[in-house]
Amino acid sequence: MCGIAGWVNTNISFSDEINVMEKMTETLKDRGPDDCGYFKSENALFGHRRLTIVDPEGGKQPMERNAGERHYVMVYNGELYNTDEVRDELKLKGHKFNSYSDTEVLLVSFIEWGPDCVHHINGIYAFGVWDENEKTLFLARDPLGVKPLFYSIKNNNLIFGSQIKTLLANPLVEPVIDEEGIMEIFGLGPARTLGNGVFKDIKEIAPAHYLIYKDNIPRIHEYWKLEAKPHEENIRSTIETTRNLLVDAVERQLVSDVHLCTFLSGGLDSSAISAIASNYYKNRGRETLDTFSIDYKDNDKYFQTNLFQPDSDQVWAERMSEFIGSNHHTVILDNIKLVEALKDAVLANDLPGMADIDSSLLLFCKEIRKNSTVALSGECADEIFGGYPWFTRPEDINADTFPWSKSSKERNEIINKEFIKLPLEEYVAQRYNDTIKKVPKLTGESKEEARMRELFYLNIKWFMMTLLNRKDRMSMYNSLEVRVPFADYRIVEYSYNIPNKFKFYNGREKGILREALRGILPDDIIERKKSPYPKTHHMDYTEAVQKWMKEILSDKNSPIHQLINDKKVNEIVNTGGKSFKKPWYGQLMTGPQLIAYFIQINTWMDEYKVKIEL
């Protein structure tokens, strides 16, 4: 994986601006610690930082290539999983290759097919191609949005990069938020509207979109979308297809010239990936697979069973490790360090995030990076196969809002009404309704089936994006590439049209996936009730975030005072978050995690010198 940066303007000639590109590219050093490179022409500047995974020499960037009289330059962050097939297809068309890197295959794909290259590739990617002769920039992002790509257009300048901080390193882009940005943070956060960069003038290429910038005009196109189709297969055939798609996706993502491992919680999704990977290694005489799980100091004493977290992971992770014969590592996190890492999580994300759910992943990835450079993880299975409680609870299924965030009214009460009055509840409702209008449905399907399509679509476009953003930022902050096999667009396309009676086979969440894994996983793992990413239950953590937030509130210069109702937030802090009756977000952001979110907002405003423009 890598980090990319670029700046184009066809109305001026770049002269001394290379130093700006160097500053922009320097913000990406964590994403790419192994190498860096630059390209400069009259109207374009590119920068690249590389984390070397495949073909150290042949994959150097920015990559340049001539085709006839035209000259192309590309910067690319990602991994293609059908490199060999695409290379073979291009060879039949007369193209020759100088390396075995996917970077060269991607660039030649663009030369051959132009924007349609995205219909030939399968992978996770964000890339930009500059056509020096046509003075045209092409930017594209993978179908599910695993890799990030931000941009800003100001005075005919198009500036892009893998992270928000990359754009902010350019003097033309300022850290300003307006009313919309505030409502993103307080109404939807830690989620974001697709394409919204929170900061004023910063946008993001949405998943499955590309942008063509020519003659100072941006043209955005959606190149892939979910389609509602009749499902013609019976239950046995559906189980087999699901199994085959998953095994193929995992095995494709095991390609690496550096050490690779898997995340293993002992849950269904990570266990499936680890088992398939381990079997692949054994069949090819490869080294023993390394697996990693996370836990918290003294969590065995403080763990609290609830609807969202029925049991602890550790015993199950060890059970799976023994079953597949992996070399297993348990990372035990200290609760105070977990609090301290809230700041680093903000710096990694460039925005307030999922509180200690972020900082724990950041510390986890830091430990994994001591052993491995690439990891596979189980995100996205719950969103596409129906793993969350809101897929089965009637009150959530029928909620006229995002089922993981039913607290718009309560969130609105936190805003400082003396400073600003915002239509926060209306803003959230509008974002929800805008998404519902786009849901692909089948003519004649029942009201119940149509509603479940809406739920799956909402999860793919919103909740899944939050988790994918989190995984990318926390891992790449530690120079660790994490791949997500369940985010293969072929699996997502197929699962979207599986009828609910199959998806919830035997009345279980992710029932079809469980059946598809018979023979791959032991029965007790298959039958284990869904348990989310583990969080701390230790009082040390709660007390530490309370203390920190009280210090923030007592400092009249703390920037968060501009935005919050101090009395309301004080009440939340003093009760350890218990006075905020509804979960802030998802299954995990409750109580002390909400206090930590406020800490992250203040940290973000302070570290990024955020200016409010109303």
Residue tagged active-site, from 2, 36, 117, 261: 2
Residue 552 CA to residue 571 CA, distance in Å, equals 14
Q: Which of 136, 138, 130, 122 is nearest to 89 (CA)?
A: 122
Residue 371 CA to residue 359 CA, distance in Å, equals 20
Mapping DSSP to helix (H, G, I), strand (E, B) and coil, where does residue 57 land? Answer: coil
Distances 298 to 228, 274, 319, 358, 540 between C-alpha atoms, Å? 47, 27, 20, 20, 10
Task: Find where tokens 């949005």 sit.
Answer: 145
DSSP secondary-structure letter at 234?
-
Residue 212 CA to residue 141 CA, distance in Å, equals 12
* Most distant CA pair in the chain, distance: 70
Distances 127 to 118, 495, 578 between C-alpha atoms, Å? 11, 27, 44
Which helix H or strand E contains 37, and what residues bound it?
strand 35-40
Chain mean position to CA 521 = 27
Amino acid at 64: E
Tell me the β-bridge partners of 74: 63, 129
Round to the nearest angstrom and report the end-to-end CA distance of the chain: 38
Query: Within 13 Å, how many C-alpha atoms sit on residue 93's CB side?
Result: 14
Amino acid at 568: K
Q: How is 252-313 classified by DSSP, letter by letter?
A: HTT--SS-EEEE--SSHHHHHHHHHHHHHHHHTTPPPPEEEEEEETTHHHH----SS--S-S
Peptide bond into 230 cis (omega under 30): no
* Cβ-contact 553, 566 below 8 angstroms: yes
Secondary structure E strands in 373-448: 374-376
Please give the structure tokens belonging to residue 92: 């039949």
Write the burial class of residue 197 (CB in 10 Å: 0-12 exposed, 13-18 middle, 19+ buried): buried
Residue 128 CA to residue 138 CA, distance in Å, equals 5
| Contact residues for 472 (Cβ-Cβ < 8 A; gap 6+) | 146, 147, 148, 482
The reply to whether 380 belongs to the active site is no
Please give the structure tokens belonging to residue 69: 């009289």
Chain mean position to CA 224 = 18
Interstrand relation of 260-263 and 70-80 (parallel, antiparallel or unpaired): unpaired
Query: Within 13 Å, how many C-alpha atoms sit on residue 500's CB side?
Result: 15
Please give the structure tokens belonging to residue 274: 């680890």
Strand ranges across the sheet with 327-333 = 327-333, 290-296, 260-263, 374-376, 481-483
Catalytic residue IDs: 2
